[in-house]
Every structure is written in C-alpha cells, then in structure tokens.
Structure 1
Amino acid sequence: MLDRVDEMSLSGWRRERGEPPLSEVHGSIAVPKRPGLWRLFAFMGPGYLVATGYMDPGNWATSLAGGSKFGYSLLTVALLSNLIAILLQALCSRLGVASGRDLAQACRDSFPRPVSFVLWILAEAAICATDLAEVIGTAIGLNLLFGIPLEIGVILTALDVFLILWLQTLGFRWVEALVIALLAVIALCFGIQIALADPDWGQVIRGFAPTVEIVRNPDMLYLALGILGATVMPHNLYLHSAIVQTRRHDGTMDGKREAIKLATFDSTFALMFALTINASILILAASAFHHGGVGEVADLGKAHELLNPLLGSALAPTLFAVALLCCGLNSTVTATISGQAVMEGFLRIKLAPWLRRLITRSIAIVPAAAVTIAYGESGAGSLLIMSQVVLSLQLPFAVVPLIMFTADSRKMGGLAAPRWQIVLASIAAALIIALNMKMLFDVVTG
C-alpha cells in the first residue's frame, strides 16, 4: 500500500512502474531494524559489484598503456574519473531507492518509445563492449597461467554461464561474497607487486596533480579517455540502480533517506578501494616499464613477460596473471546482472540469465576470436583499449538521463538530489562530452 501511495505521489513519470528490477532478488536481503553496524553491514555489497566494473581487464590495458608511456602523469585522470564515478553512483542509489525504478525503467517510463529504444541499443552496445574486454582479459589470464591458446581461451569464456547459474541458486548475498573475495585476492596480488616495483612515491604523489598536457597531447588524451571510459562505465549506472533495491528496508520517507545514505557510503567506500587498484596498475606500469626504459606496453601478455626480469622475481608475473583472471571472473558476474537489468527495464522482456549471458557473450566472442586469430596478443590489446574508448563515447547517453531524473522533484518527490550534487554532476557530464568531442575532432583532423 505504501509503495502504491509513493507511486501515485511521483506524478512526473509518463508510465506507471511495472515489475520491480531483477524481481527474483528484489528486496531479498532484510535490513535489521536495530540501528548500528549490522544495519550498515546489510547495505554493504552492491558497491563492490559496482567497483568490479571499474577495474575490469579493459581498465588494465588502458592503465598499463598510460603508465608505461606517460609515467605517473595520468594518475590525475584516474583520480578525477573515480571522483566522478562516486558522484554518479550516489545518484544511482538515490534513483533506485527513491523511485523504485532502475535507470533502464526510468528511461522507459519517462521518454517516448523511439528515444527509449535508442537508449536501449546504446546500453546494449556498452554491455557488449564491456563483455569484449572481459572475453579478451579472461582468455589472456588463462593463457598466462595455464598456457591455453588465446583462441581456445576466448571460446572457454562462454562456460562462465555455469558459474552465474550456480551463484544465483545460492542467493544474492553469495554473489556479493564471491565478488568481495576475488577483490581481496586482486588487492593482495597488487600490494606485493607494488612492493617489488618500489616506485618513487614523490613522483607518484605529483602524478595526482592536474596537467594541461593531457588536453594538448592527442595521444595522452586518447588514453585519458580510455581510462575515463574504463572507470565510469555506462552499464554500472544501470547495474547499481537495480541491485541497490535488493535491500528490504523501511519504505517510509525517513527509511528511504537512511537507505540512500547507507547505500551511498557503501558505493563510495568500495570505489575508493577500486581507485587503489587502478592506481596500482598505473603505478606498476610507470615504475616497471616507463622508468625501466621499456616504453609503452599496452599488451597484457607482454607486461606479464617483462615483469620477471624488471622486478627480479618470478612471483610477480604469476601474481599479475592471477589478478587478471580474478578481474575477468568478477566482471563476468556484474556484466550478466547489468545485462539482465537493461533488457528487463527497457523492454520488459525476461530471459533466463543463462540464455541472456550466452547471447551477449556470443556477440563478444566473434570479434575477439577474429582479432586474436588474425593479430594475436598485440591486436587483442589494441581491441581492449578501443572498447574502453567506445564506452566513454556512450557514457553521456546514460549520465544525462540519470542527472535529469534525480534532479526532478516530480519524479523523486522529497528525495530529489540536492542542487550542489546536480551542479557537480552536470559539470562532470559537460567535461565528459567536451573530451569526447575533442578526441573525435583529433581523429577527424588526423
């Protein structure tokens, strides 16, 4: 009854809210009524699934290329991208909790059908680009650890559907637990590698300071956009606004305010953790490759090969491969859930998760297999970076609607985002659009 009252009070939507997002897990995790740490703990989880998308194999390729070619200079882009991500994911939490809609449903319920259809196509393209990075990254991880040829590794990635099926039978909390466990392994691997690399920490700190060289240098701008696209990913906005609704909290206005606050804390903390991982990849590349005199290394396999002689330890390349494989597996989980949310939200079509996953993965496997067969690891590395730039170009089509919805008090009621938040998000959106236009201009003019 309370949800119905809320629905009637939010009159800014063109259509009524239909079935809740990811209905099989919607409200499946109870929030304790007693205040304290247990209440906060109940909201911890969605942020880490979102953070996984900010450190996928595509991010590795762009961070490796950026660190090896330009040293620590692009750390400022990693920091800026992460701050933008924190802001946008906070808006996603607000949209999901306040309106009971994820971003896909909100687009469907607000825009004319042709506009909604175009946004759905763009969202699906973003998920396919993300999946392409996961296919290549996981295949490279299998190759580095077990010697499986890339072409076979690409095909084997389709089997991850069985992992998704098994996880979903256990419950959503188990999905979150696996993701967090794999993130812990990744953090441990990079912590040891950074210790072995022994970077110049003074230069690392200076690398977080902004520089106009990023805009002046087209090559640096291209990699900066790749880092931005790999960090602030379109599918994460759809994902977060859906999975934040897995919590069964108090539906009153005060209860929703508290849910927004706790969900925002969850995503902010998790994304700061993601920043440490992303910065570690770039620092490792800058210290081992750029300052080691190797030059640009965008190829994950080549990076793995060079770590042993440069760092003087046979453990370093193994840790690199383990972390890469964990990243690929983690990204598989989140891409599946976001793909499910996008299709159900935009089209109200429910597909079995395994079928949805096989369709998306098949679309990604074809170009990945073709490129790896034709060009090998170097072609796969270039394809990884290109996929991240494509994500950056598609990002405004998810960010702008998100800002529009959360700023509208007719849609959000008394839980519309504060003005300062909307102003900062609008500046971030304008920056993303301006950088994309600058890159396209550089490409056209050569």
Structure 2
Amino acid sequence: MNASVAVPTGGHWWFRLLAFLGPGYMISVGYMDPGNWATDIAGGAQFGYLLLSVILLSNLMAIVLQGLSARLGIATGRDLAQACRDHYSRPVNLGLWLLCEIAIIACDLAEVIGTAIALKLLFGIPLLAGAIITAVDVVLVLLLMNRGFRALEAFVIALLLVIFGCFAIQMVIAAPPLQAVLAGFIPHAQVVTDPKALYLAIGIIGATVMPHNLYLHSSIVQTRAYPRTDAGRRSALRWAVTDSTIALMLALFINASILILAAAVFHAQGRTDVQEIEQAYELLAPMLGVGLASTLFAVALLASGINSTVTATLAGQIVMEGFLRLRIAPWARRLITRGIAIVPVVVVTAIYGEQGTARLLVLSQVLLSMQLPFAVVPLVRFVSDKAKMGALVAPRWLIVLSCLIGGLIIVLNVKLLVDVWRG
C-alpha cells in the first residue's frame, strides 16, 4: 500500500492535513488499548490522581518517539524493522525480532482479556468462551484490509470517536474536582519511592509507549503519495507529526479519563482495592448512581479491544516482513499470534479464576515496557545518522531529548527489576 493515498499539491492547507490524517490515529490505538485500562484503573483507585503525571509524561515521550518513527520512514523509505535488517548482523536482527514478537504477543494478550471481559459484561458470555471468540477477529481484519488502507483508517477513527464519546459522558457524570485533577499532572517523588506506585507507573509507560507502534508508524506513513524529494519529504514530515500529535492528545484524554474516573469514584470513597476491569464495571453504576455509566464503560472497552486487533495485526506483519523478509497470509499470521496469546489466558483463568486475569493484564504491560528500549535505541541511532537520513537527520536537541527518554525508560526498568528481586 506504499504511496496509495493521494496527497493534494495545491489548495488550502486543510486538504493536505486531511490527506495525512490517519496513521497517527492508527498508532494512537495502542495508547488506549485494554492494557491501559488495567494500569489506569489500579493506579487511580490506589493512588488517586498521583499517576496522572506519569500518563502525561508517557504521552509526551510517545509524541517524541512517534515523531522519530515517522521521520525515519519518510526520510529513508524504510520502516524500523527494515532499517534494523540493513544495519545489524543476522543474530542481532533475530534477537530484535524475537523481542518485538514478545511485545506484540503481550499486547495481544491484553486485547484478548479486554475483549473477552467486554463480551462478558455486555452479553454475559463466559470469559473463557469470550477469549476463544476473539480468535475469529481475523475475518474483520481481512475484510478491512481488502477494502484499502483508507477504509482501515476510517474504521479505526470511528471506534476511537465511540471511545472518546463514552468517556466524555462519564467525565460529566463523575464531575471530578478540577483542582485535584490539575495537581495530579505535577510530578511527585512518591511515584519513584513507593515500589507499588513505581510498578504501576512502569506499567503505564509500557501500556502507553508501545514498542511495536514504532515499527508500525515508520511503515504506514509511507502510504501517502507525497513527492519523494527533499522538499516533499519535509512537508510530509510536518503533516505526519501534526497528525500523530493530535491523535496522541486524544489518547491522553482517554487514558487520563480512565484514571480520573477511578480516582473520583473509587479512591475518593475509600475503595482502593479496585484493580480489575470487572470490579470497576460493577461498582461504577451504584457508586455514581447512574446505570448508564457501566454500560458506556463496557462499550468503550469493546471498541478498544476491537481497534487494537487491527493495529496489532498490521504491526506483526510489518515486523515479520521487515526483519525476516518472510511474508505469510495475514489470516495465518493473525491466528498464530492470537493463538499464542489465548493460551496463558485460558491457563490462568483455569488455575486462578477470573481474578488472575487482572494480574496477567498488568504484567503484560510491564513486559511491554521492558521491551521498549530494544526499539528505542535502534530508532534513535538511525535518525541521528546523516548518511541514512540525509536532509531529514534529527537535530541535535531532538537526539539529546530522545536519549534522555530512552535513558529514563531503562533506569525505571532496572529499578523495578531490583525492587522485584529484593522482594
């Protein structure tokens, strides 16, 4: 689908922006998938508005990193996986591919659990049956892909608007205190000093800045038919970054809304024990006094799970083709990934009951954070290489900022491992 979406060369700037709108929303899906819900609900219920600063920081990091990803794809005509294959040895590439596959499976694990829970809440389908039903989403993905990339983007944006609408209504119903909410966006030392808060903070970072999104974005920005000249690439980069920044601000609203809802409803009334999505669903209506709140919550969760399915499938295909030059049918790729993700859900549910899936959901997001440096480090390395990037090589200030972001992620991950090791 490279250069398959036409970009107008004249007319009002609004038409060029509309032509570039889409890839940013595709990658923003990963920033509000069911894995985010688990970490945000637990964070809001236990610590009130404290972790809003982590959501804001994660979102700012995401804007920078996704901008780098778009820069790489537009400047070189290669996605991140292809750039790795060109630059690194085969053993290194195999290692990076395996790590990325683990990240995609961890993400898919969250989607399986989230979608299965939504099906149970809305239609009474048992969790195990719901998890198995999620395997048939391959039909949806194939139908959308056969209709072209614009149809895929339109479907994703429509579901994002559904999620946005659901949470906008819930925010009005919950009416959180504005002063407390704004104070939550100011960083606090407790986030680092409290091991429980740090665990959730790293889970939020892992759920927000997803490694496979960096591979995905560097590929799908190339679907636009911009002139493959220095001037055309510069213009395309400006519009692509604008697109992803707008989309990620929407993701910030949704992520923050989940945590604010948990803080305003559960933490404020002393229910700091709420960690599971099902608990939140069951308590929202009686604690808010509005039956519609729980239904909106479940509808948004289902839309989130379905949306994440589409982008995870695309990312998996891009990663496998980029690293290995291996191309398999999308339906086969989807069934393999989803099949691997379903197994731990079935096992954990059978052994520990449905409560065990909540812990599995948060753990999947921490695993994503652990994988993140293995995507960030090559990305920063490539965009700072004049020989590869040409006129679009990243400026020094951006490289320094990106290194600080990568360093912060690595330091937080190491601290978490040390805390877990000490028990």
Partner of 1:281: 258
1:373 Cα deviation after fit: 2.4
Letter of the 1:344 counterpart: E
Letter of the 1:430 counterpart: G
Partner of 2:179: 202
Partner of 2:55: 78
Cα distance in structure 2, aligned partners of 1:316 and 1:374? 32
Cα distance in structure 1, aligned partners of 2:187 and 2:127? 38
Structure 1 segments of 4 or more deviating over 6 A?
none
Give matches, 1:46-57, under 5 Å.
Answer: 46-57=23-34
Matched, 1:342 2:319: yes
Letter of the 1:315 counterpart: L
Alpha-carbon contact 1:301-1:377 (below 8 Å) kept: no
Q: CA RMSD in A?
A: 0.7
Partner of 1:331: 308
Cα distance in structure 1, aligned partners of 2:405 and 2:264? 30
Cα distance in structure 1, aligned partners of 2:167 and 2:237? 32
Letter of the 2:390 counterpart: G
Letter of the 2:360 counterpart: L
Cα distance in structure 1, aligned partners of 2:251 and 2:381? 27
| Gapped regions of structure 1 (runs ≥ 5) | 1-24
1:270 Cα deviation after fit: 0.3
Matched, 1:136 2:118: no
Alpha-carbon contact 1:299-1:377 (below 8 Å) kept: no
Partner of 1:33: 9
Deviations 1:14-38 (A, max 9, x none): xxxxxxxxxxx11111111114211
Counterpart selection for 1:94 from 44, 58, 71:
71
Cα distance in structure 2, aligned partners of 1:63 and 1:321? 15
Alpha-carbon contact 1:143-1:153 (below 8 Å) kept: yes
Cα distance in structure 2, aligned partners of 1:141 and 1:351? 30
Partner of 1:267: 244
Partner of 1:408: 385
Letter of the 1:432 counterpart: I
Matched, 1:237 2:214: yes
1:277 Cα deviation after fit: 0.3
Letter of the 1:268 counterpart: T
Letter of the 1:29 counterpart: V
Partner of 2:226: 249
Cα distance in structure 1, aligned partners of 2:387 and 2:113? 44
After TM superposition, the structure 1 stretch with the greater mean CA deviation from structure 2, 212-221 or 33-42, is 33-42
1:374 Cα deviation after fit: 2.3
1:375 Cα deviation after fit: 2.2
Relative to the length of structure 1, the TM-score reads 0.94
Relative to the length of structure 2, the TM-score reads 0.99
Partner of 1:382: 359
SS at match of 2:354: helix
Counterpart selection for 1:147 from 124, 131, 142:
124
SS at match of 1:191: helix
Letter of the 2:306 counterpart: L
Letter of the 1:322 counterpart: V
SS at match of 1:29: coil
Partner of 1:161: 138
Partner of 1:304: 281
Cα distance in structure 2, aligned partners of 1:374 and 1:178? 37
Cα distance in structure 2, aligned partners of 1:201 and 1:224? 22
Deviations 1:130-181 (A, max 9, x none): 0000000000000000000000000000010000010011111011001100
Give matches, 1:53-68, under 5 Å.
Answer: 53-68=30-45
SS at match of 1:291: helix
Cα distance in structure 2, aligned partners of 1:46 and 1:417? 21
Count of matched residue pairs? 422
1:200 Cα deviation after fit: 1.0
Counterpart selection for 1:315 from 281, 292, 308:
292
Cα distance in structure 2, aligned partners of 1:379 and 1:294? 19
Counterpart selection for 1:367 from 320, 324, 344:
344
Letter of the 1:134 counterpart: E
Matched, 1:127 2:95: no
